[in-house]
Amino acid sequence: MKICFATHNLNKLREVKQMLGDRYTVVGLNEIGCVDEIPEDGVTLDENSKIKAQFVAEHFGVNCFADDTGLEVEALGGEPGVYSARYAGEEKDNQANMKLLLEKLKGKTNRQARFRTVITLILDDIELQFEGVVKGSITQELKGTEGFGYDPIFVPEGHDVTFAEMSAEAKNRISHRGRAMQALVSFLQG
């Protein structure tokens, strides 16, 4: 069965194609002719992943799923959350985002945080959501060069290195997105 993953990110697409094996033909947005950025104007991760999935289902008439992720920092009341990509501005600058977050946490002893991914699946007439969470803490400074986003300042619980100091495989095994994808894959594989 053909299913669209509502993303332009080729790394995410490759990862999911591997996970879903040959029972599903996973295609990205480019492959269904959707070259535009889908508006993400929701105020929660749940809303944004739903908006993206519904956009694709309505405009392109295909079964699909969409994800949305945010870093939720306890001492900041869940910030940056749904605004993770553009925390320090519309340029979506990872370095500036991390700098701002570390500044806001200066002097705070509670460094607890979690990454959360929500996936919305639209399959024929059903709509379902899956969630993946990884708890951890925010470092005092950047460490490591792997990954992307906030990886250099996030240490997952039970580890003493940041996501940016882990291999992609090690990160994917325990990550928010990996866990949400696993839940989706288990459902799709029945």
Report, in Å, the least distance between residue 158 CB and ligand IMP.
17
Burial of 54 (0-12, 13-18, 19+ CB in 10 A): middle
CA nearest neighbour of 71 among 60, 63, 83? 83
Under the criterion CB under 6 A, does residue 120 sit at the interface with ligand IMP? no
Q: Which one-letter DSSP state was computed for residue 37?
A: P
Under the criterion CB under 6 A, does residue 84 sit at the interface with ligand IMP? yes
Collapsing DSSP states into helix, strand and coil, what is residue 99?
A: helix
68 belongs to the catalytic site: yes
CB 153 within 8 A of CB 105: no
Under the criterion CB under 6 A, does residue 68 sit at the interface with ligand IMP? yes
Under the criterion CB under 6 A, does residue 72 sit at the interface with ligand IMP? no
Choices 27-35, 54-62, 104-112, 142-150 (CB under 6 A): range interacting with ligand IMP: 142-150
Under the criterion CB under 6 A, does residue 130 sit at the interface with ligand IMP? no
Burial of 118 (0-12, 13-18, 19+ CB in 10 A): buried
Under the criterion CB under 6 A, does residue 150 sit at the interface with ligand IMP? yes
Given the rule CB under 6 A, which residues bind ligand IMP?
68-71, 84-85, 147-151, 163, 175, 177
Q: Which residues are catalytic?
A: 68
